[in-house]
Structure 1
């Protein structure tokens, strides 16, 4: 195992250490720059742009995780029964997740980007005037979140379907004999028994959402007026457009710290659910 471990350390450990060194300096893509200690991290906490991006990242992640989970679990429960063509539906429902995000974002841009796009035209026909899905800051944030749910629910559907197959049907039969309603069966049998898989899917989707660069950048570019700029988009802009490598890497490290804390909390929830 030694050669593989050494290779992994070189491929992952060295870039991580180098990035940590960069976060402590005020450099650019060509020069490391002078040593500034923790000034880049302190600057982030004092930067209103950073907090605005953090707020949108939190919203984007919460909607992406719980919205896609609710829809995915609902579809998994629906298709678990004797639905004609359930396998065909499952394959078709995987398309938003399977199709490359470049294709999906281009399609959504065609649907909502301009006032002559199909969705704004339909909204205007229904009596809603000047619905600018990507030009209005609030509508742009809603559109990006909805788009994330749309491309993510198939993953949650797969995770939920796999967890539901492990639930013994005799448990539901015994619950029905005891007079349990459908809601009671769902809250007291289904959710507790699939809790470990649910927490794992939440951990993975949280990581996917926080680190999701192409979904936001291809759809809105972080605009309008920075309303849909997440932390990963902000870090990209700071490093590759403003050429402030130290500050951009510091933002990335702060993102990583939050992800680690969230993952540890969810992992402990998994352990409690399996006891």
Structure 2
């Protein structure tokens, strides 16, 4: 048998072709030029209505808002084209950078504060505690209750001199502290409120991640003489790192875009101390009727969120658990 014949048979075998003929695994020479089949066309026809609906409901508003950010219009008139002037005015505005600073603090406290509380409670729920089922339900209440109800309750607790918390501060000798009248205290109150309504979400995320960890890993660490702190830092945190990064990404988006939590509790005050970027954008559009600067702020927020999400997602992809 010639070497050319052997080589040809080897090539045919690599393509799944039997030595004696074309076989079932043979690949036609024109397979790369074959057009779409009837089944593929049918699937495309079924998918097209959904794709068109998504484009109409999502893409069109984004494109329209993008055009509005390049004009000096209002809610009732498109206005004249001004190019990037709105973005320039926004980025050189003191109010924008003040809101950016508070948004950054609000997001950092909301993400890491709720994560720390949620992780601690998730670890606690793994232990045997009395009435554990009832305890879990009660912990979910801040997340389940509508934010309007929660904000109203917190206003009743801290907003006026007759509220319970100012009365308590006076009773312990601190005077009647008006938590929502002082700029710094208002910022602290809003951040604590955000952690309070967000930790159940983080608790559920972390509880799911912890449930997926094999108990044999902890047992092996104990046999090797690891302390509780070492087990937590070198075993628990690395094993739940994927879920942790995912929860950080989601909570970052939730915090930056969180309008009702701030607006219902303080309205952005006092003296704009708790005005985040989303609240500032709302005021520009619906209070001052300046749709150009308002939508420009929204697009800057969106770009920032995309960058932060991409960075966290890249970090997520680097996590390698064997």
TM-score, normalised relative to structure 1: 0.99
Q: Quote the residue 2:78 is aligned against.
A: 32
Query: d(CA) in 1 for partners of 2:225 and 2:173?
Result: 48
Match of 1:157 among 196, 199, 203: 203
Q: Quote the residue 2:177 is aligned against.
A: 131
* Structure 2 residue 257 is matched with structure 1 residue 211: yes
Query: d(CA) in 1 for partners of 2:130 and 2:162?
Result: 39
Q: Quote the residue 2:315 is aligned against.
A: 269
Match of 1:105 among 151, 167, 171: 151
Match of 1:188 among 230, 234, 240: 234
Q: Quote the residue 1:234 is aligned against.
A: 280
* Structure 2 residue 115 is matched with structure 1 residue 69: yes
Q: Quote the residue 2:129 is aligned against.
A: 83
2:167/2:176 contact within 8 Å kept:
no
Unaligned runs of 5+ residues in structure 1 are none
Q: Quote the residue 1:94 is aligned against.
A: 140
Match of 1:175 among 190, 213, 221: 221
Query: d(CA) in 2 for partners of 1:119 and 1:253?
Result: 39
2:245/2:313 contact within 8 Å kept:
yes
SS at match of 1:260: helix
Q: Deviations over 1:43-81 (max 9, x none)?
A: 111100000000000000000000000000000001111
| Greater RCO, CA 8 A, separation 6+ | 1
Residue 85 of structure 1, CA deviation = 2.1
Query: d(CA) in 2 for partners of 1:67 and 1:15?
Result: 34
Q: Deviations over 1:94-116 (max 9, x none)?
A: 00000000000000000000111
Unaligned runs of 5+ residues in structure 2 are 1-46
Aligned residues: 275
Q: Deviations over 1:3-48 (max 9, x none)?
A: 1111101110100100000000010001111111111111111100
* Structure 2 residue 7 is matched with structure 1 residue 7: no
Residue 151 of structure 1, CA deviation = 0.4
Query: d(CA) in 1 for partners of 2:318 and 2:133?
Result: 34
Query: d(CA) in 1 for partners of 2:173 and 2:232?
Result: 40
TM-score, normalised relative to structure 2: 0.84
Q: Quote the residue 2:96 is aligned against.
A: 50
Residue 87 of structure 1, CA deviation = 2.0
Residue 129 of structure 1, CA deviation = 1.2
Q: Quote the residue 1:114 is aligned against.
A: 160
Match of 1:224 among 249, 270, 278: 270
Query: Cα RMSD over matched residues?
Result: 0.8
Higher Cα radius of gyration: 2
